[in-house]
Amino acid sequence: MKRGLDFPLARPTWPANVERPAPKRRVGLAFDHGWSRRYPARLARALLLDNVTRPAIRLVTATTTRGVEYLEHLEAPVIFAANHASHLDTPLLLHALPARFRHKSVVGAASDYFFDRTWKALWWSLTLAAIPIDRNRVNRRSGDDAARIIEEGWNLIIFPEGGRTADGWAQPFRGGAAYLAHRTKRPVVPVYIHGMFRVLPKSLRDDRPAGGSGSEMRHRGLRRSPTSVLFGPPLRLEEGEDARHFAARIERAVAQLAEEVRSDWWGARRAGADAAMTALRGPDVSPWRRAWARDATPRRSPSRGGNWPVS
């Protein structure tokens, strides 16, 4: 009689000789993020971006934006491919984008980091319209989801490095942005974000070696520093061009924008591919010399009219 009374309220028993099915994962690549692109979530996100995120970015950075004119007559959707040095890269990039791109963009985020817990998946989907991307290998499911969302008219922000840099210099780009551009036939806008490694670098564990004499920043927390966001001319697939060649061309375009910060607009156009790639990835020397070269990079406004130092 007691078991009969408990049945509606208690969990039912499972036969001992029947194998239990594996529980379905509702996080990672399996997370259902479609709700984040519906009107209620879009309205809440727009209010958050315009009234909280953008004022906060202005508080911690003095940002110079360059190349917005390339977006004025660009037909959406497009793919924004940027270097990655900080968790604040995404809010900064959204802050720099015009409203028509900012309010209809999704962000490709690592499924093993941003979608490993339900509360994290819900939070990042709501605040940034993040979608899970497998950064460790080519995954058909994440590629299909991203391509479908782009074809529905949404812009995509993606970081081809696959993760934040640990020493301030960019890592080699992977082919995700080029693959999606090849599949959807949409243009790629190269973006270079400068200075965010000084604002909020990747934190290191205390037991992890620095790799040289101060080659990696260990401070935690925010510190105010000038930053720059540079947009380059949109890149489109050429006739007969494959995704691998296009990926290399995207990285060279971002490298040219990095050289523009290091020198100036005209100097970046005159510099060779090797010099531009060094401005993006850093010199191929020992870790302490890479750290010195990174810290010696002048903090300047990438202005066409000349370079001027900022504090």
Cα distance between residue 128 and residue 106, in whole Å = 7
pLDDT at 306 over 70: no
Report, as an integer, the average pLDDT of 26-52. 94
pLDDT at 304 over 90: no
The helix or strand, by DSSP H or E, that contains position 61, with its residue range, turns out to be strand 61-66
Nearest to 78 by CA among 204, 232, 185: 185
pLDDT at 229 over 50: yes
Query: Quick check: 229 and 65 in contact, CB under 8 A?
Result: yes
* Confidence tier at 293 by pLDDT (50, 70, 90): confident
The H helix count followed by the E strand count for the chain is 14, 7
Read off the pLDDT of residues 115-163 as tens digits, 9 standing for 90 and up.
Answer: 999 999 999 999 999 999 998 777 788 899 999 999 999 999 999 999 9
Read off the pLDDT of residues 57-99 as tens digits, 9 standing for 90 and up.
Answer: 999 999 999 999 999 999 999 999 999 999 999 999 999 999 9
Q: Which domains does the chain have, with CATH numbers?
A: 32-200+221-248 (3.40.1130.10)
* Confidence tier at 214 by pLDDT (50, 70, 90): very low
Cα distance between residue 142 and residue 201, in whole Å = 27
Question: pTM for the whole thing?
Answer: 0.84
The Cα diameter of the chain in Å comes to: 88
Query: Quick check: 83 and 250 in contact, CB under 8 A?
Result: no
pLDDT at 228 over 90: yes
Report, as an integer, the average pLDDT of 278-296. 84
Edge-to-edge strand ranges of the sheet holding 188-194: 61-66, 225-231, 188-194, 79-82, 155-158, 105-110, 130-133
Determine which of 1-15, 186-200, 233-247 has the lowest per-residue pLDDT on average.
1-15
pLDDT at 283 over 80: yes
* Confidence tier at 2 by pLDDT (50, 70, 90): low
Higher-confidence position of 48 and 28:
48
pLDDT computed for residue 1 by the predictor: 53
pLDDT computed for residue 309 by the predictor: 37
Question: What share of the chain has pLDDT > 90, as a percent?
Answer: 61
Higher-confidence position of 276 and 2:
276
pLDDT computed for residue 26 by the predictor: 79
Name, of 112-116, 152-156, 301-305, the range with top average pLDDT. Answer: 152-156
pLDDT computed for residue 7 by the predictor: 57
pLDDT computed for residue 129 by the predictor: 97
pLDDT computed for residue 206 by the predictor: 41
Residue spans of alpha helices (H) in the chain: 2-6, 39-48, 54-60, 89-96, 99-102, 111-114, 118-128, 140-151, 176-184, 196-199, 243-262, 265-270, 273-281, 287-296
pLDDT at 4 over 80: no
Q: Which amino acid is at 261?
A: V
Q: Where are the beta strands (DSSP E) in 126-221?
A: 130-133, 155-158, 188-194
pLDDT computed for residue 111 by the predictor: 92
